[in-house]
Amino acid sequence: MAGATPAHVVASDDHTVAFLDVRPVFPGHVLLVPRDHHETLADLPPALVAPLFGAAQRLARAVETGMAAHGTFVAMNNTVSQSVPHLHVHIVPRRRKDGLRGFFWPRQRYAGEDEMAEVAARIRAATPVTG
């Protein structure tokens, strides 16, 4: 939470703290972090998934309402493009025609159905079975 002062904090609970990003995409851009150190989403213990995403859901509504936005962009980076090695969720107010395009990078297509099926199979094979 380096750089966040009490005035920057917008929400907190037993598991999370949310504060204004000091370099926002738009005013109202909030960072939500777990209080305990976990570097990526994959490192987050299962018991903390619901508290983190529950807080993200509440903040998305609050940012939209508080900033009179049309919606929000909710995202996180894991390792690549993660400027701080601590799990954090970006909640950014969005307005129609605000200048952001989709995800912030060029999109591409699969070469065809075969490539798409192969990629889906690789991800399915790596997905843990839950009970």
Is residue 3, in this structure, part of any structural domain at all? no
Task: Give the residue numbers spanning the domain of 70.
Answer: 9-126
Is residue 78, in this structure, part of any structural domain at all? yes
- Print pLDDT tens along the chain (131 aa): 455 667 899 999 999 999 999 889 899 999 999 999 999 999 999 999 999 999 999 999 999 999 999 999 999 977 666 678 789 999 999 999 998 876 666 667 889 899 888 877 887 787 777 65
Beta strands in 1-131 (DSSP E): 9-12, 16-20, 30-34, 71-75, 89-94
Question: Angle at the Cα of 5 (from 82 to 31), degrees rounded to 5?
Answer: 30
Per the structure, how many domains does the chain have?
1
pTM of the model: 0.81
Is residue 84, in this structure, part of any structural domain at all? yes
Is residue 2, in this structure, part of any structural domain at all? no
